[in-house]
Amino acid sequence: MKVILKNIGKKYEGRDKFTIRNIDIEIEDREFCAILGPSGCGKSTLLRMIAGLTSITEGQLYFGDKLMNRVLPKDRDIAMVFQSYALYPHLTVYDNMAFSLKMKKESKEVIHKRVTEAAKILQIEDYLYSRPSDISGGQRQRVALGRAMVRKPSVFLMDEPLSNLDAKLREHMRVELVRLHKNLETTSIYVTHDQTEAMTMADKIILLDKGKIQQFGKPKEFYDKPENLFVAEFIGSPTMNIIKGKMESGRFVSDLKDIIVTPKDEDQKALKDYDGKNVYLGIRSERFLAKKSEENSFEARVEVIEMLGKEKLLHIRSKNGEELVVSQPGHFLYEIDENHNFTFDLDALHFFDEKTTARIN
Ligand SMILES: Nc1ncnc2c1ncn2[C@@H]1O[C@H](COP(=O)(O)OP(=O)(O)O)[C@@H](O)[C@H]1O
Ligand SMILES: [Mg+2]
């Protein structure tokens, strides 16, 4: 089912400002779409408007070509999974999953088929006759997902369903959810504040901040072409390096004056109106080259080394004090307090307008 949001906005009663506004996007049939953003930015509000649990103040919501604004949640053909899910403690896993189907007076055969199907996909077949208190947190979360799945909704809504799980299990469930989505072939909308979850799981991401869409698109676009400084800093770990500076005769000169970069022709064209103006230069930690060259190279001291196994993160400081993070392969040898030369990969520069923070190149 295609989900279309036309200029959707929400103003809670008693508040003088809209919590979110001008949400104008289309989520394609069978797509996995993540709603991402910092805590309090309005993610749950948006999801609850799609579910019908919160009223829509302005704009239109369509499922396919049907206007949904005034359709009751129970008539929307959706299933929703929350962060804190309550299973019925006195019912078995099987009965927990069968519950909504029984309420709908489905036949025993249909119920059995759907529950065992879902259990198979979720790998909880062995626990079908256990009670929630006898299984682990991860298994309970899968039961909660199963309970929603058996309803075969046309839109599957999830609000931070993994945030109560420990890191290892979360990593595992991420992959399971992607697999699940493939099997279900249902349009899924997934709320998270965790950029890694959104980047790894979603076909498309809606990144919200301050009640507005900051960017909407594929994960790769967020990484390679963040549309503004907020997106650049929100996506990716470690955070993108941002250097304040000014364009001077086609060159970027840092405010601290010790980093000078001549961008490639294409970027120069985009920057042609910025001579003498302040800009931010962004570069991801893995796009520095640890070598000396005639141009675009600077010297810096290694202050801290974070060993992450496959890579190490060098926290470096340039001569005049610019602090940057450079990623290098884990087996390369570096020592604290050593000085090294670093160069910019010119294919990986991001320029942002100092005033609007919008992307320039
Ligand atoms: N029922 C409500 N009444 C008034 N304000 C609300 C209500 N629910 C949420 N809010 C406010 O709306 C903003 C967004 O909340 P929410 O959508 O829960 O954010 P998120 O899920 O991104 O953390 C917050 O400032 C929150 O306090
Ligand atoms: Mg929320």
**pLDDT grade for 142, boundaries at 50, 70 and 90:** confident
Across 80-89, 253-262, 309-318, least confident range: 80-89
Q: 22-72 pLDDT, tens per residue?
A: 999 999 999 999 999 999 999 999 999 999 999 999 999 999 999 999 999
129 Cα–ligand 1 center, Å: 38
SS3 of residue 286 by DSSP: helix
54 Cα–ligand 1 center, Å: 11
Q: Is residue 84's pLDDT more than 80?
A: no
Q: 103-133 pLDDT, tens per residue?
A: 989 999 999 999 998 898 888 999 999 999 9
Mean pLDDT of 200-205: 97
Nearest atom in ligand 1 to the alpha carbon of residue 193 is: 22
Q: Which ligand is nearest to the CA of 16?
A: 1
Question: CA-to-CA distance for 314 and 61, rounded, in angstroms?
Answer: 47
Question: CA-to-CA distance for 305 and 337, rounded, in angstroms?
Answer: 10
Residue bearing the CA closest to ligand 1, atom 8: 45
Closest CA to 254 of 213, 192, 300: 300
Secondary element (H or E) of residue 81? strand 78-81
Does 45 contact ligand 1 (Cβ within 6 A)? yes
Does 232 contact ligand 1 (Cβ within 6 A)? no
SS3 of residue 128 by DSSP: coil
Q: What is the mean pLDDT of the chain?
A: 94
Task: Point out the domain boundary residue: 175, 200, 227.
Answer: 227
114, 101 Cβ separation under 8 angstroms:
yes
Place of tokens 């770990």: 237
Residues of 272-305 as b/e, b for ≥16 C-beta within 10 angstroms? eebeeeebbbbbbbbbbeeeeeeebbbebebeee
Question: CA-to-CA distance for 324 and 244, rounded, in angstroms?
Answer: 12
SS3 of residue 169 by DSSP: helix
- Using DSSP bridges, classify how beta strands 32-36 and 204-209 pair: parallel, antiparallel or unpaired: parallel
Question: CA-to-CA distance for 228 and 209, rounded, in angstroms?
Answer: 12
Q: Is residue 5's pLDDT more than 80?
A: yes
Which DSSP symbol is given to 240? P
Q: Which ligand is nearest to the CA of 40?
A: 1
Place of tokens 């369903």: 161
Nearest atom in ligand 1 to the alpha carbon of residue 54 is: 1
Mean pLDDT of 144-173: 88
pLDDT at 290: 86
Question: CA-to-CA distance for 58 and 71, rounded, in angstroms?
Answer: 15
Q: Is residue 246's pLDDT more than 80?
A: yes
Closest CA to 256 of 303, 319, 315: 319
Q: Is residue 325's pLDDT more than 80?
A: yes
Q: Identify whether 302 is part of a domain.
A: yes
Q: Are residues 60 and 15 in the same domain?
A: yes
Q: Identify whether 361 is part of a domain.
A: no
Closest CA to 158 of 79, 93, 88, 100: 79
With pLDDT > 70 as the criterion, what percentage of the chain qualifies? 100
Number of structural domains in the chain: 2
Output 121 or 267, whichever has higher pLDDT. 267
Question: CA-to-CA distance for 350 and 172, rounded, in angstroms?
Answer: 33
Q: Are residues 124 and 204 in the same domain?
A: yes
Q: Are residues 71 and 211 in the same domain?
A: yes
∠ Cα 102 105 107 (to 5°): 90
Q: Is residue 180's pLDDT more than 80?
A: yes
Q: Identify whether 89 is part of a domain.
A: yes
Q: Are residues 15 and 46 in the same domain?
A: yes
If one residue of 11, 12, 194, 212 were mutated to test the ligand 1 pocket, choosing by the most ligand atoms within 8 A of its CB, it would be 12
Residue bearing the CA closest to ligand 1, atom 7: 12
| Bridge partner residues of 342 (DSSP) | 298
Mean pLDDT of 227-232: 98
Nearest atom in ligand 1 to the alpha carbon of residue 43 is: 22
Q: Are residues 175 and 270 in the same domain?
A: no
Q: Identify whether 36 is part of a domain.
A: yes
Question: CA-to-CA distance for 160 and 82, rounded, in angstroms?
Answer: 7
pLDDT at 269: 97
Q: Are residues 290 and 206 in the same domain?
A: no
pLDDT at 139: 87
Nearest atom in ligand 1 to the alpha carbon of residue 46 is: 17
Q: Are residues 110 and 251 in the same domain?
A: no
Tell me which residue range forms the domain holding 297: 241-353
Secondary element (H or E) of residue 117? helix 108-122
19 Cα–ligand 1 center, Å: 7
Place of tokens 């923070």: 357
Q: Is residue 164's pLDDT more than 80?
A: no
Q: Are residues 221 and 330 in the same domain?
A: no
Question: CA-to-CA distance for 92 and 96, rounded, in angstroms?
Answer: 6
| Bridge partner residues of 191 (DSSP) | 35, 159
> Which CATH number belongs to the domain containing residue 118 in this structure?
3.40.50.300
**pLDDT grade for 85, boundaries at 50, 70 and 90:** confident
